[in-house]
Structure 1
Amino acid sequence: MKARFLGIDDLTDVPSVAVVVDVMRAFTVAAWAFARGAEKIVLAGSLDDARALKDRHPDWVAVKDGPPAPGFDAVNSPGLLRSVDLAGRTVVQKTTAGTVGALAVKESELVLCAGFVVAEATARLLRARGSDRVTFVVTGEDGRADEDLACAQYIAGRVTDPAGTDAAGFLGRAARSRAAAELAEGVRQGVHPDDVALCLEADRFPFAMVAASEGPLMILRPCAIPQGPDGDPV
């Protein structure tokens, strides 16, 4: 597999296969939402779009970055979301980087959204598909976020050399990242003390997350990847 690692603003074409990475915290939150029972996640293009969707669908759960705000039910924190019952619910998510990155590649044939918590399942899906060219979209810090790059490189390694790619070094880089420091030091708002640790749980969930256009909306859904005794998809 030939992998390239680009920031959102570096995208000059429509990739066939795109893996959009936001470790801290959009796609860790998305994975937790599915683990808590959410049926689907609508990736909103703006805060106004998210509010409008919430107004039209009062039963949907709207999530945003930063502190609580009118029109939103929750903030983009895995530590806070993990106790919320989302069984059968639709979540609307708008974040600074992750949702922006996913919408930037919405014309791609396959769009996966990922963090460390779904890294192995994402790699298994890519292996099962036999993708020979994959664009990893590093969403944070204009493409320079080392936690996102580390996760992208970990997934790429698990695709091409699963036996020789261990999570420890990649997680260490993410733990030392600027985003991790800002979350730990309270620079960012809407934070739970466990957020960094939850973002650094490699391969916690057995599903990948696939985004696709459904009518006018970009919808993220979980995709279970059955695994055989040899570790390969079945």
Structure 2
Amino acid sequence: MSHEPDRLFAQPLAQPQDFVFNEAVARVFPDMIKRSVPGYPTIVENMGVLAAQFAQPNTRLYDLGCSLGAVTQAFRRHVKTDGCRVLAVDNSAAMVERCREYLHAQNSMFQELLPAEVLEADVLALPFQPASVVALNFTLQFIPPEQRPTLLHSIRQALVPGGALILSEKLRFEDADEHALLNDLHIAFKRANGYSELEIAQKRSAIENVMKPDSLETHRQRLLDAGFSRVMPWFQCLNFASLIALP
């Protein structure tokens, strides 16, 4: 499928509205995410590699906050475990519609892929089935902080022995100088990918009330409190990281 370049914040806005995953964002999302998140393609592809190591027979693989289904596609390319099924979940109707189109296109290009279902739903209200792999790929940061522990506890309860949660997030840093430096480097990354100062500033205004990042220490402790036994970072690029949490 073709997609459009991200120009959503290229023109001056009187007052940027809070960021939402609507049809306009869905149209430009592949371009937006690659130009905004350092290491995103590496994270997504290796989520498939990791999933292949943790997938257990006859279990669900969840892609929570799936957007256009990039992680679901990686799961389907790499996981060969018998009886696994992928459930991709997002609360954006625009994202769900396009995700289904992307998966249909993937079906036409590959044979013997894992079966996958796309569901429009709130991940906080999801009744989890026994799962061996759960992906939260830049999703938790958009969930109200007070609701994050409940979701992680539900995921932990659903995970079978040998499974894993893979959690990717933008990070904030406890040390103010470290936080400022990595934030500046992230802005430099966006400039290098063609975003103007206006686009960077307006996007920041739109998203600051919607996305609430945590520190690595906060993530680790919250996961341990939810019942996970080990938490290991496996990837970091600037102020973006991905963790493996084991039941």
TM range (shorter): under 0.3
Query: Please, what TM-score do these two structures have when normalized by structure 2?
Result: 0.26
Greater share of residues in helix? 2
Whose Rg is larger? 2
